[in-house]
Amino acid sequence: MKHYIIPMFIPHLGCLHQCIFCNQKKITGCQTSVTANQVNTMIRERLSAINQKRWIEVAFYGGSFTALPESVQNELLAPASKALRNGLIHAIRISTRPDCINPDTIANLIRQGVTIVELGVQSLDNHVLSTARRGHDSQSVTAAVTLLKQSGIHCGLQLMPGLPGEDWISLIRTVRQATTLRPEFVRIYPVIVIADTALAGLYSQGSYQALSLKQAVVRSAYMKLVFEQQGIEVIRTGLQASAELDSKTNVIAGPYHPAFGELVDSYIFYLMIAAFIEQNGAVSEDALIIRHHPQDCSKVRGQYNNNINKLTHSYNITKISLYADSSVKKGCLLFENHGQVVLLNSKEESEKWKC
């Protein structure tokens, strides 16, 4: 059953700190938060427009939901809670800060029917968190995840590679620590420099250098490979494309790309093919045959056929032939070479990753 999300935006509502990278109004295009009446109207309108069976979820994005007074939380949640009780939707999701999770808060969320909580974690390096003015440390993350998992609420982490003070060692430690927390899922949002933020000021002064698109793709691919190898789903890489983010007046610098997630997946497929070639000795007179799931076609080829062109040039291969094959699972490649047939799963690739 396909997933359908009814999004509710509450930009900066409840936020206790002004993080250096954040301007949710610029990102979402929403200048004001939704009201309870608007939540109710949105749910009714979206439900009436759905003409097939879906797993439906109401999700509150932006802000720090559990930092709001409990009465405000319950007022906003009431229409979704009612829809959940009546069997019209299947789940309610909220986003919040790790240091705004405690037993009382969780008890109230459960009463209102909330089943998924996303924590804005960004990093698990205390120096990076301090530089980003997050106002919490990594221990707050561990405590929040522990409480949520004990309560039975599904927990997700939002991580931001490319924050000031982060390097590869810091990122690797963050990823390793995050895997030990065993969240149900992760989102990866490489840092982009948004107008009217403290980070934009640092960038204009030359005190901060944003990741290039290639650097962000490589770091995000590393993160995705490690998480998925550990059985932790990565549900998104890169910000959702929007007219606001496509505007050069809003995005000053950084690795924003409307198809960032596909670039990451394409790079992972490139790594898979390169690993096979290096381990199995494909040579210039060989024609390498690769079968893939039909939905992975563009990702395997790479944007503008970049993967195939780079591989044939780098490894001096005469020809790489790609065939869509629905019997091959998504994220997998079936290689035919030298009379051998090898199936490679992207989730295994993190074991061979070398920085």
Q: What is the mean pLDDT of the chain?
A: 89
Average pLDDT over every residue of 208-227: 97
Q: How many percent of the chain have pLDDT more than 90? A: 71
pLDDT of residue 14: 62
CATH code: domain of residue 102: 3.20.20.70
Whether the per-residue pLDDT at 287 is higher than 80: the answer is no
Note whether 73 and 104 are same-domain residues. Answer: yes
pLDDT of residue 250: 86
Note whether 225 and 295 are same-domain residues. Answer: no
Whether the per-residue pLDDT at 29 is higher than 60: the answer is no
- Here the tokens at position 157 are 């982490």
Q: State the pTM of this model.
A: 0.89
How many other C-beta atoms lie within 10 A of the C-beta of residue 347?
18
pLDDT of residue 354: 33
Instruction: Report the distance separating Cα 133 and Cα 340, nearest Å.
Output: 54
Note whether 174 and 300 are same-domain residues. Answer: no
pLDDT of residue 12: 65
Note whether 106 and 144 are same-domain residues. Answer: yes
pLDDT of residue 211: 97
Q: Any idea which residue has 């199995």 for tokens?
A: 280
- Among candidate residues 186, 192, 328, the one with its CA nearest the CA of residue 269: 328
| Residue 278: band (very low, low, confident or very high) from pLDDT cuts 50, 70, 90 | confident
Say how many domains are in the chain: 2
pLDDT of residue 53: 87
Domain boundary among 209, 242, 258: 258
| Residue 74: band (very low, low, confident or very high) from pLDDT cuts 50, 70, 90 | very high
Model pLDDT for residues 103-150, shown as the tens digit of each residue: 999 999 999 999 999 999 999 999 999 999 998 999 999 999 999 999
List the domain range (segments joined by +) for residue 216. Answer: 2-258
How many other C-beta atoms lie within 10 A of the C-beta of residue 112?
18
Instruction: Report the distance separating Cα 227 and Cα 231, nearest Å.
Output: 6
Average pLDDT over every residue of 306-310: 94
Note whether 176 and 299 are same-domain residues. Answer: no
Note whether 57 and 177 are same-domain residues. Answer: yes
Whether the per-residue pLDDT at 191 is higher than 50: the answer is yes
Whether the per-residue pLDDT at 284 is higher than 60: the answer is no
- Here the tokens at position 266 are 């394409």
Instruction: Report the distance separating Cα 294 and Cα 227, nearest Å.
Output: 24
Domain boundary among 207, 237, 258: 258
| Residue 347: band (very low, low, confident or very high) from pLDDT cuts 50, 70, 90 | low
| Residue 309: band (very low, low, confident or very high) from pLDDT cuts 50, 70, 90 | very high
C-alpha 235 chain-centroid distance: 5
